[in-house]
A and B are shown apart, each in its own frame.
Chain A
């Protein structure tokens, strides 16, 4: 599956949650994603990455890969974005209510390309 333009509605809703949500409530992190973020960006707090992700998703033609998974319900995409002048890898789930997200990944890229490239 090739790299796609991330759906505008998905981007809009994720950005809205990032801008208005609270970490641990509307913005959930898995244990592993938090630990990975902590390892790669020890000098940053989790909420510092939200504006960077939002800026990428609001930018011109954000691109990424859809992640088809048996669960969880909702839409998940992964993408590269810039954070603290470094390329970072993000994987975010927008839950079916479109008011909650789960950050599955926000860390330095482990691979040079996204899964669908």
Chain B
């Protein structure tokens, strides 16, 4: 039993190392193509862009979000903003009234029906060639849109461009931990873009050609992860998705472990279920690296993490049981064992070295992600927090997402 479990563990460890090496290899191959623009970007032509801002109870953040859109370095007559109040019960509608005087802003109020319904209402009113969404808890860097649009100008085959989403404020230690994680996802997203294999077009300001929705249909509920489903649908139809690493969108991150858990539960549940829905895309040569790398790597990471968690839980249960047996047999042991470090008892199994390799690779992903967004090589203490917070909280959302999938329970949005 133990040896079977070890063999499975080593197989998963092999795949996990493989994924990390694949990313590093892609980075080395394409490192010269990664550019960070500092000044003002100019375009030959400024096509019309509509940004839809769906909001539900966002009275605290909506003003800043819309202000950031108005401050974008993009001709205001080419930029349309559609704000949809999706049945808010707080002061969101009141906050939106401040923008009633802007000719390029349209505000709608509807009954609460979920984010995808708000986006679809926005799409119904979109008349421009390009369309995107900006979550009401995010703000855009003034150069973000023009940098994104420069990708479309350069390559006419591109159908969507995702930005670099970075964590805005980092007050609590949970937010500090996420800061590092967001850097890592900038890195992985860019590498996936080089492979033509992006699996999510995030809510904070991914810009699409309107043609995408005209051809493939509007947003779907998609297990509360409509931004993932549309990417899967685009991959299925060979639509090219790019990532613009120097288009920064600052997003509010969950401040506590519980809110982080709720958010990630929704994401992982969405990943598992969208993958199940699009399972016919797996290992089909015609769908490219998305089919042979992105989705399998995601599936492997979910299985590996679940297996690790299972083992850890088993070990904890085993430890507690042995303590219980010890208590039953000899009573409480009050003697204090003075810890003496002895190299001999240090675990030197191959798995430990493989885990170290994976951790080192994750460390470099974060450092490279930061380099790709902020342009510096600094290593912050947040990185340590990332390893601590995610090691403790991830098992819970992962376990719950699998449980929910197996027993068909849908996680709430918040």
User: A and B, one complex?
Assistant: no
- Chain A residues with CB under 8 Å of chain B are none
